[in-house]
Structure 1
Amino acid sequence: MELHLLTVAIVFAAIFVVELPDKTFIATLVLATRFRPLFVWIGVSLAFLVQTAVAVTVGGLLAQLPKQPVEIFAAVMFVIGGVILLRGAGNADEEERETEEEFAHKGPPSALGLRVILVSFTVLFLAEWGDLSQLLTASMVLRFHQPVSVFLGASLALVAVSGLGALLGRALLTRVRLSTIRRVGGGLCLVLALLSVLQILGVLGA
């Protein structure tokens, strides 16, 4: 299957800014304060890879349906994603505190090595189902019809976000507010929605 670097870059940018203000970023940060960050990052990244594969598979199956309804569905999903992020921006900082409390006691504090990886994998795997980034990943497959490129772009974005959460999360949050990141992500989703609508109307090529 052909790899399209532009699609990889677009998907990476979109999923990165959508996932960065998500609760899974905070969960990774909290886990990394309790356990060795490297093992947390490995566990979280593995969970993300599995869920991205599922999202891409679902998107690929939906892409087999008639073209125009699928394109309309993808545009609607981008609009919903943008609205959710923009409406939730004002509450982002309060949600950050609630998420820290929620994940502060996940897993036994004495866990080491493979057990940390398993705990991190399980916590994020269960927390991420139906997450906005997963829905948008499936929508990206419908938008671009390039599942391999979408999988690579989304996976790299999620692995990068989990790495930031595990290694630099606390320092990053002292410099950039989650509400600001969420607004950027919402705006990007709406741009993708607009591009999808223009494609449906024939203004842009497929």
Structure 2
Amino acid sequence: MDPLADLQDHIPNQSIYHSADFITRFVHAFAVSFLFIVVSELGDKTFFIAAILAMRRPRMIVFLGSIFALGLMHTFSVLVGMSAKLIPRYLTQTIASVLLLVFGGKMVYDGCRMKEGCEQEEFEEVKQEVSKGETGEDEAENGGNRITNGRIFLRRWISPVFLQAFTLTFLAEWGDRSQLTTIVLAAREEPFGITMGGILGHSICTGLAVLGGKFLSEKISTRTVTIIGGIVFIGFALYSFIYRNS
């Protein structure tokens, strides 16, 4: 019996096994990330920012600026989560499950305390913030300071609308619930699946905001979406606890 022949027969089987295992982990991570981003971002501040800007500016440029900021932030969050894999797996799984349980509980609590129609109030608040930002930019341009000179330089190469959408979205997303959730998920799931699923989720939410954000803000109940999102978070956290201990 030739040991080398046995080894050669074994290698393809191992390769197929690892490929199938990767696909399973990728699909699971992709689906989880997509679902979590959608329930987190629908009716969120970044959703309203894209909707308001698209009412005044070219929709495609607003979409590109917003999704570039969201994609950059999402990828950064995945990298941060991947660094947590240096910690023992059982510990990261426990921490991730606890955090998801906390996030979910807070979402359900906040959703129950919301009043029906609160999405219109938030829409108007974000609209005022965007208007103030535009007014501040106009005043800065009239002042002719160094910052303005830098902006003028950037605007020679990049669309001002793109810069506005990117900046407002990036600042709104920093420290947001979806960013923290992405870090938690990347610490326990397949990172490439988390990245791709999250970017697709962001793209769909931003696309909906750009195409019909004002209409959707009147039809979508932020209270309902928040409560459902919280239940999803709690359900996944409990599933993680059971799966880890099984």
1:173 has 2:173 as partner = no
Counterpart for residue 147 of structure 2: none
The 8 Å contact of residues 66 and 166 in structure 2, kept in 1 or not, is answered as yes
Counterpart for residue 80 of structure 1: 102
More displaced 10-residue stretch of structure 1: 79-88 or 153-162: 79-88
2:68 counterpart letter in structure 1: L
Equivalent residue in structure 1 for 2:44, among 14, 22, 29: 22
Seen in structure 2, the aligned counterparts of structure 1 residues 99 and 173 have a Cα distance that, compared at 3 Å, is same
Q: How far apart, CA to CA, are the structure 2 residues paired with 1:10 and 1:75?
A: 13
2:171 counterpart letter in structure 1: L
Aligned positions, number: 200
Q: How far apart, CA to CA, are the structure 1 residues paired with 2:81 and 2:166?
A: 23
Counterpart for residue 188 of structure 1: 232
2:129 counterpart letter in structure 1: E
Identical-pair percentage: 29
More displaced 10-residue stretch of structure 1: 73-82 or 146-155: 73-82
Structure with greater Cα Rg: 2
Residue 68 of structure 1 deviates from its aligned partner by 2.0
More displaced 10-residue stretch of structure 1: 81-90 or 161-170: 81-90
The 8 Å contact of residues 141 and 147 in structure 1, kept in 2 or not, is answered as yes
Q: How far apart, CA to CA, are the structure 2 residues paired with 1:96 and 1:183?
A: 19
Q: How far apart, CA to CA, are the structure 2 residues paired with 1:128 and 1:40?
A: 16
Q: Describe how 1:1-206 pairs up with structure 2 within 5 A.
A: 2-3=22-23, 4-89=26-111, 90=114, 92-93=118-119, 94-107=121-134, 114-144=159-189, 146-200=190-244, 202-203=245-246
The TM-score, its normalising length taken from structure 2, stands at: 0.75
The TM-score, its normalising length taken from structure 1, stands at: 0.88
CA RMSD of aligned residues (A): 2.2
Q: How far apart, CA to CA, are the structure 1 residues paired with 2:130 and 2:101?
A: 30
Q: How far apart, CA to CA, are the structure 1 residues paired with 2:110 and 2:127?
A: 17
Runs of 4+ in 1 over 6 A off after TM superposition: none
The 8 Å contact of residues 11 and 154 in structure 1, kept in 2 or not, is answered as yes
1:116 counterpart letter in structure 2: V
Residue 101 of structure 1 deviates from its aligned partner by 2.2
Give the SS at the match of 2:43.
Answer: coil
Unaligned 5+ segments in structure 1 are: none
Seen in structure 2, the aligned counterparts of structure 1 residues 95 and 41 have a Cα distance that, compared at 3 Å, is same
Q: How far apart, CA to CA, are the structure 2 residues paired with 1:103 and 1:115?
A: 14
Larger fraction in helix: 2
Q: How far apart, CA to CA, are the structure 2 residues paired with 1:96 and 1:80?
A: 27
Over residues 62-110 of structure 1, what are the superposed CA-to-partner deviations in whole Å (9 max), with x where a residue is unaligned? 122112221121012212221232222215534343223222343369x
Q: How far apart, CA to CA, are the structure 2 residues paired with 1:199 and 1:126?
A: 36
Q: How far apart, CA to CA, are the structure 2 residues paired with 1:52 and 1:122?
A: 15
Unaligned 5+ segments in structure 2 are: 1-18, 139-154
The 8 Å contact of residues 86 and 186 in structure 1, kept in 2 or not, is answered as yes
